[in-house]
């Protein structure tokens, strides 16, 4: 039975939430394996719109067991807020399981995220300010707090003291902020213990057993390939591995278990925050993509930077993740354009690059080389078969598929749950 991974193939917000929702009725477990509440997934079901940050999108489907695995960083205040909000709307969240090894985001991580960004000035990353980077930094520095620590007050206090030792010097002497009080952090984390306890388990074991029993497990990546700390546009990235390999380490599942790697890619490109973006448009076309595509961040509300489809990035993502299937989303947003440019390669100081340059400075200076495709005018939001699409829309999809390194198995034609064209099965 399949263990499938969903990853973003660009800079995030490709429609991963909707893609998860599309296959959720056929899965038993949905696992968030990286990131935290920096993610923002909007899923539209009938007249209801759900915005999820920390919880995996599959939680919206009855019968699915949602799992937050070891690779995630968890802000407990946000966790319980999201759970309560969903419960109020009639969603059953009782099956949620959380790894005892997941790291916890605390007040000092959020504070450090904000002050370090301010100190970076012009070089700032444009983070979501949710404390993601400082929490992963503590994990790597071996001074992190894990979910399991919350259940032992003595251990928790020792660990919080260890974590705050250096940080309070930094906060007070460098950043001119108030010192953080160990007791306050311990009391806040302990206040969640009773509610948290029944949800916590060895999620690697849980998923391993599920796979042995022939259950279907979907691993839902937050962020995206170009935001991956190893493979993205470093340093303008998030602090986790949001590529498919992250599903293995982030959930404690052997890489040989994964049967499908589904890359979600928009029919154009967007990015939130700073960093290079070769096809970015600062003109009326960028403005048009933003307004027609409603490109405003689900998490921070920031306007997303918009540009044309970048085929070398899709190919790079196909390679880094081992993508078996693409879901091409938001094709409907391109309706009404006379011509649609697609970036097929870059030019850097007179030299042509057919693939992503490995050197960061080259990518910063990369100018897109475009091939133009004729547009279409008919509304495509009601199309459910590939043959329902206007000829030029079909030609655009086939051209993009040909350039992107994997087949396009589904095409999004609107935000609604059923606004999708399926060309190939996404699960085995
Ligand atoms: P995620 O972070 O990858 O889950 O994506 P977001 O939810 O942040 O952003 C994607 C947005 O596009 C959401 O508002 C979706 O409702 C919307 N969306 C998804 N697929 C389509 C599509 O095919 N067409 C249109 N017009 N909107 C879509
Ligand atoms: P989803 O899952 C788009 C970006 C931030 C910033 C950088 C680092 O909805 O696709 P962080 O707070 O993670 O330290 O910020 O990463 N970023 C996202 N951009 N979609 C996301 O998630 C993102 N999560 C983080 O804007 O540039
Ligand atoms: Mg998003």
3-state helix, strand, coil in the chain (%, to 5): 40, 20, 40
Cβ of residue 325 lying under 6 Å from some atom of ligand 1: no
CB of 222 closer than 6 A to ligand 1? no
Instruction: Say how far apart CA 54 and CA 37 lie, in whole Å.
Output: 4
- pTM exceeds 0.85: yes
The tens place of each residue's pLDDT in the chain, 428 residues long, gives 689 999 999 999 999 999 998 999 999 999 999 999 999 999 999 999 999 999 999 999 999 999 999 999 999 999 999 999 999 999 999 999 999 999 999 999 999 999 999 999 999 999 999 999 999 999 999 999 999 999 999 999 999 999 999 999 999 999 999 999 999 999 999 999 999 999 999 999 999 999 999 999 999 999 999 999 999 999 999 999 999 999 999 999 999 999 999 999 999 999 999 999 999 999 999 999 999 999 998 888 899 999 999 999 999 999 999 999 999 999 999 999 999 999 999 999 999 999 999 999 999 999 999 999 999 999 999 999 999 999 999 999 999 999 999 999 999 999 998 999 999 999 97
Which residues on adjacent β-strands are paired with residue 219? 5, 31
Q: Residue 418: how many CB atoms within 10 A of its CB? A: 10
Region label for 37, one of left (φ > 0), alpha (ψ between -120 and 50) or beta (otherwise): alpha
Which two three-digit tokens encode residue 204?
């690697």
Going by CA atoms, what residue is nearest to atom 10 of ligand 1? 15
How confident is the model at residue 180, as a pLDDT?
Answer: 96
Q: Return the pLDDT at 7.
A: 98
Instruction: Give the whole-angstrom CA distance, residue 335 versus residue 344.
Output: 21
What beta strand segments (E) does 105-160 contain? none
Query: Would you state the pLDDT for residue 428?
Result: 79
**In the Cβ-directed half-sphere of 414, how many Cα atoms lie within 13 Å?**
12
State the distance between the two ends of the chain, measured CA to CA, in whole angstroms. 7
E strands in 158-283: 200-201, 217-220, 260-266, 269-271
Q: Is position 364 annotated as part of the catalytic site?
A: no
Cα(43)–Cα(417) distance, rounded to whole angstroms?
8
387 CA distance to ligand 3 centroid (A)?
30
* CA separation for the pair 44, 135 (Å, rounded): 31
Per annotation, catalytic residue among 21, 41, 231, 310: 41
Tell me how far the alpha carbon of residue 76 lies from the centroid of ligand 3, in angstroms: 20
- Counting ligands in written order, which one lies closest to the CA of residue 72? 2
- With a 6 Å cutoff on the Cβ, whether 106 touches ligand 1 is no
**Residue 355 bridge partners (DSSP):** none
Atom of ligand 1 nearest to the CA of 17: 4
- Cα angle: 16, vertex 21, 26; to 5 degrees: 125
Q: Which of 272, 274, 276, 297 to mutate to test the pocket of ligand 2 (most atoms within 8 A of CB)?
A: 272
Domains detected in the chain: 3-93+202-422 (3.90.170.10), 103-196 (1.10.300.10)
pLDDT at residue 335, as a whole number: 98
41 counts as catalytic = yes
Q: Taking the CB of residue 296, how many other CB atoms lie within 10 A of it?
A: 14
> Which protein residue has the closest C-alpha to ligand 1 atom 27?
415
Q: How far is the CA of 240 from the centre of ligand 2 (A)?
A: 10
Counting from 1 in the atom list of ligand 2, the atom nearest the Cα of 12 is: 10
Given the CA of residue 133, which atom of ligand 2 is nearest to it? 14
Q: What angle do CA 190, 54, 139 make, to 5 degrees?
A: 60
12 close to ligand 2 (CB < 6 Angstrom)? yes
Nearest-ligand number for the alpha carbon of 135:
2
DSSP 8-state code for residue 274: S
Binding site membership of 15 for ligand 1 (Cβ less than 6 Å) = yes
pLDDT at position 1 is: 64
- From the CA of 265, how far away is ligand 1's center (Å)? 10
In 10 A of CB 275, how many CB atoms?
Answer: 21
How many angstroms is it from 272 CA to the middle of ligand 3? 10
């Amino acid at each position: 039975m399949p263990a499938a991974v969903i990853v973003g193939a660009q800079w995030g917000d490709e429609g991963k939430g909707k893609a998860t929702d599309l296959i959720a009725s056929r899965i038993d477990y949905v696992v968030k394996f990286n990131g935290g509440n920096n993610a923002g997934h909007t899923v539209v079901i009938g007249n209801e719109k759900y915005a999820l940050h920390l919880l995996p999108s599959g939680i919206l489907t009855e019968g699915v067991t949602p799992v937050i695995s070891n690779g995630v960083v968890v802000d407990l205040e946000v966790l319980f807020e999201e759970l309560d909000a969903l419960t109020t709307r009639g969603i059953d969240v009782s099956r949620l399981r959380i790894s005892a090894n997941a790291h916890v985001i605390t007040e000092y991580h959020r504070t450090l995220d904000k002050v370090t960004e301010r100190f970076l000035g012009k070089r700032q990353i444009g983070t979501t300010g949710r404390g993601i980077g400082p929490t992963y930094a503590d994990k790597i520095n071996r001074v992190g707090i894990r979910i399991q620590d919350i259940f032992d007050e003595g251990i928790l206090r020792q660990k919080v003291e260890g974590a705050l030792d250096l940080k309070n010097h930094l906060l007070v002497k460098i950043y001119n902020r108030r010192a953080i009080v160990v007791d306050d952090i311990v009391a806040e984390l302990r206040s969640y213990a009773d509610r948290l306890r029944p949800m916590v388990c060895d999620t690697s074991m849980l998923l391993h057993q599920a796979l042995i029993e022939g259950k279907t497990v979907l691993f839902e990546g937050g962020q995206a390939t170009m935001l991956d700390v190893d493979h993205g546009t470093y340093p303008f990235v998030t602090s986790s591995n949001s590529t498919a390999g992250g599903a293995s380490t982030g959930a404690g599942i052997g890489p040989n278990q994964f049967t499908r790697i589904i890359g979600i890619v928009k029919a154009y490109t967007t990015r939130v925050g700073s960093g290079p973006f070769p096809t970015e448009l600062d003109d009326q076309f960028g403005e048009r993509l933003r307004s027609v595509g409603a490109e405003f961040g689900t998490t921070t509300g920031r306007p997303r930077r918009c540009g044309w489809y970048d085929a070398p990035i899709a190919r790079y993502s196909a390679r880094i993740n081992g993508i078996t299937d693409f879901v091409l989303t938001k094709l409907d947003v391109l309706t009404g354009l006379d011509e649609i440019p697609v970036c097929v390669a870059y030019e850097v100081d007179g030299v042509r690059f057919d693939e992503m340059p490995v050197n960061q400075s080259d990518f910063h200076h990369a100018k897109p080389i475009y091939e133009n495709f004729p547009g279409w005018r008919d509304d495509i939001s009601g199309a459910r078969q590939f043959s329902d699409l206007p000829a030029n829309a079909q030609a655009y999809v086939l051209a993009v598929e040909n350039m992107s390194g994997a087949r396009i198995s589904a095409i999004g034609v609107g935000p609604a749950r059923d606004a999708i064209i399926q060309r190939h099965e996404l699960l085995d």
